[in-house]
Amino acid sequence: MPTFAPTATDTETHCPYCAFQCGIRLGTADDEVVVAGNPAFPVNKGALCIKGFTSGETLRHPDRLRTPLLRTSDGTLAPATWDEALDRIVAGVRATQESYGPHAVGVFGGGSLTNEKTYLLGKFARVALGTRNVDYNGRFCMSSAGGASIKAFGVDRGLPFPVEDIAKADVILLVGSNPAETMPPLMQYFGAQRAAGGTLIVVDPRRTLTAQSATMHLRLTPGSDAAVANGLLHLLLRDGTVDQAFLADRTEGFEELRGVIATYWPERTEKVTGIPEAELVKAARLLGAAKRPMVLTARGAEQQAQGVNNVLAFINLALALGRHGQPFAGFGTITGQGNGQGGREQGQKADQLPGYRRIDDPAARAHIASVWGIPEEEIPGPGRSAYELLDEMGREGGVRALFLMGSNPVVSAPRALHVEERLRALDLLVVTDFFLSETAALADVVLPSAQWAEEEGTMTNLEGRVILRRRAMDPPAGVRTDLEILMAVAERLGRGEHFAFANAEAVFEELRRATAGGVADYSGISYDRLEARQGMFWPCPTDDHDGTPRIFADHFATPSGRARFHAVRHESPAEEPDASYPLYLTTGRVMSQYQSGTQTRRVAQLARLTPEPLAEINPNTARRAGILDGALVTLTTRRGSSTARAKLTRDIREDTVFVPFHWGGTASINRLTNPALDPTSRMPEFKVCAVKIEPHSVRQGAKSA
Ligand code: SF4
């Protein structure tokens, strides 16, 4: 890779990947697109991970799609003109809706889309297609955290405080998160916290890189998160270290919780969680003595069929410790996808309208109808959540045609083989992407779209900071932006008057009006204001408002203004190990890959670092199964089989196997994961299911292929 010294003419923009949205400077050297960290952006302060440094490689990649593709009568995908592709889409949509009704066409979005795309995709579904069935892959990411935050605080902003608060917390409980691998520049804040004498307690079944850097590591049994939280709260009560003044002044519902917490005495908690009583007692004492305690959760606790209850249990703990809403303390969740925050606010969810409004709220519907210029009754009601939408594709009552943007569910959805089968059952699958992802390869129509640095838009990072992602270069000839694609399809469907935007900024201007008065109020944020500063925190309700870095300083967004406790219990995972499937399977990410890997698997340096998934197995477990380090292993659950290379490590519990989910085909671990859904968030249980492992054989390889 050529060396790169950024100049004043290089473009300041943001990394295309995770929710940290690192500031970057993008330029060219030796005719290659190159990237450096932007020290002026106050979140990453110039630091980048390997994914960010190499992100320029995707822009001129030879695999880029440069022309629409249409499925031909012989079953192959062939190049076509934009007119041919758009005609095919419109004919397919009309035929489907005439035969099965408006809701038989579905829309599936993504948590990496800009706010403008998210907003326009939700509007496209409701106004251009008239369908209620729109949801997105963020349902698989942040929905449990969001559901719990709304229950407890009345609002869902992942971190309700700036990320820099992490550095000044004196004791942090970090649950189900491994930022040392997934978000390395975030570690500078944990490092500063430790350097200032702070304590970091990590809760994770694996001894991850993050856990290795911690003061304490609580190695819980997968799926026992709520029991850990309840057990720690039991000890706080026993030790008298609950913040009674905070409970009295700023919360409600604690008395209902007392009886539940009484049943989580240490011996029971140890039995359920596998964490020795002495470690629980030590952690509770550290937390109880903290002056600025902080509790952070992430996907480990959230991607479960009881994900909302898990998060509520940790919110209970954080509230009992007090100071939530004050600087350097409180509860937060660490968002994963690039626009995981904005993506869940602007209306691409089945039950939601822009501004984090509920689609079943008459006042919200009336407001959005007035912004969209349509009668309120034209806005459909709530539709199916992501997995339910995918599960019912091609069946009676399910969607028959799907418009998919910014997602690759063949790799990222649970029970992926089944999802692939349902995608094949559609009458029409339209995919917009810049590479031929595993899902795009199944499509009837593939539309080539512009990438991050080729278009303008806003993103909202893990702090709720809205940032401007600037355009640095033109897209390749033949490629259109997602916004242009949505406008073109809407035009051909006869709804063009509602989709006449000159550019992304014009979409944002309408988004501002749509969010005005909503929970996630962006109405005081403009491109001009974002140009002049390094992002603005929502809510920002007026042109002279400076945004809200800390949203709970005075009150919570509940009717009473108080945070609510919830009396939640630990429930067993939907599937526990048994004689046939004797181990826990848990999944996650690695440093050099991002989500379904559509981009990062194509970056040479990243592919060299992790060319395939490694199954982390304890040596004792491997010996019993006859598995050698570095050998291929077959993993099987009730939903299918997958192949990975064994990495024997004592950093994982003997009863658990970890496999990252970035690959497709027979290396897809999501072929195995369990689509049991959380009753509130509809989050699938990615993080826990029962698995068996065995040495891979050629016969198995043929069978699982
Ligand atoms: S992937 Fe995330 S942590 Fe890495 S450079 Fe990009 S935004 Fe930063």
SS (H, E, C) 489-546: HHHHCCCHHHHCCCCHHHHHHHHHHHHCCCCCCCCCCCHHHHHHCCCEECCCCCCCCC
CA-closest candidate to residue 337, choices 685, 14, 17, 114 = 17
Ligand 1, atom nearest to 20 Cα: 7
How many CA atoms does the CB half-sphere of 94 hold within 13 Å? Answer: 11
Q: What's this model's pTM, rounded to 2 decimal places?
A: 0.95
Ligand 1, atom nearest to 24 Cα: 5
How many CA atoms does the CB half-sphere of 158 hold within 13 Å? Answer: 31
Cβ atoms of residues 447 and 432 within 8 Å: yes
Q: What's the gap in Å between 66 CA and the centre of ligand 1?
A: 27
Q: What's the gap in Å between 18 CA and the centre of ligand 1?
A: 5
Q: In the prediction, which pLDDT does 376 show?
A: 98
What is the mean pLDDT of each successive set of 10 residues along the chain, which is 705 residues long?
Answer: 63 95 90 91 96 93 96 97 98 98 97 97 98 93 90 95 98 97 96 98 97 97 97 98 96 96 97 98 98 96 94 98 94 92 93 95 98 98 95 95 96 94 98 96 98 96 97 95 98 98 98 96 98 96 97 95 97 96 95 90 93 97 97 97 97 96 93 94 93 82 38
**Ligand 1 interacting residues, C-beta cut-off 6 A:** 15, 17-18, 20-22, 44, 48-49, 51-52, 183-185
SS3 content of the chain, % helix, strand, coil (to 5): 35, 20, 45
Q: Give, using CA atoms, the residue closest to atom 5 of ligand 1.
A: 52
Q: In the prediction, which pLDDT does 312 show?
A: 98
Q: In the prediction, which pLDDT does 44 show?
A: 98
Cis status, amide bond into 539, omega within 30 of 0: yes
Q: Give, using CA atoms, the residue closest to atom 2 of ligand 1.
A: 18
Q: Is 501 left (phi over 0), alpha (psi -120 to 50) or beta?
A: beta
Q: What's the gap in Å between 44 CA and the centre of ligand 1?
A: 9
Ligand 1, atom nearest to 48 Cα: 5
Residues ≥6 apart with Cβ < 8 Å to 699: none
Q: Give, using CA atoms, the residue closest to atom 4 of ligand 1.
A: 49
Q: Is 653 left (phi over 0), alpha (psi -120 to 50) or beta?
A: beta
Q: Which of 58, 183, 187, 467 for a ligand 1 pocket mutation test, highest count of atoms within 8 Å of Cβ?
A: 183
How many CA atoms does the CB half-sphere of 20 hold within 13 Å? Answer: 29
**Residue 281 neighbours by CB distance under 10 Å:** 16
Q: Strand, coil or helix: what is 615? A: strand
Q: Give, using CA atoms, the residue closest to atom 6 of ligand 1.
A: 52
Residue 494 backbone dihedrals phi, psi, to 5 degrees: 85, 15
In whole angstroms, what is the distance from residue 326 CA to residue 249 CA? 13
Ligand 1, atom nearest to 55 Cα: 6
Q: What's the gap in Å between 257 CA and the centre of ligand 1?
A: 39
Cβ atoms of residues 404 and 431 within 8 Å: yes
Q: In the prediction, which pLDDT does 705 show?
A: 30
In whole angstroms, what is the distance from residue 304 CA to residue 653 CA? 19
Residues ≥6 apart with Cβ < 8 Å to 539: 519, 520, 521, 522, 547, 548, 551
Q: Give, using CA atoms, the residue closest to atom 8 of ligand 1.
A: 22
In whole angstroms, what is the distance from residue 413 CA to residue 388 CA? 11
Q: What's the gap in Å between 302 CA and the centre of ligand 1?
A: 21
Would you state the torsion angle of the CA atoms of residues 478, 482, 485, 490, taken in this order, to the nearest 10 degrees? -170
Q: What is the side-by-side order of every strand in the sheet holding 11-14?
A: 11-14, 23-29, 32-37
Residue 527 backbone dihedrals phi, psi, to 5 degrees: -60, -40
Q: Which of 51, 58, 589 for a ligand 1 pocket mutation test, highest count of atoms within 8 Å of Cβ?
A: 51
Which stretches within 179-253 are classed as H helix? 179-182, 187-195, 209-212, 225-239, 244-250
Q: Give, using CA atoms, the residue closest to atom 3 of ligand 1.
A: 183
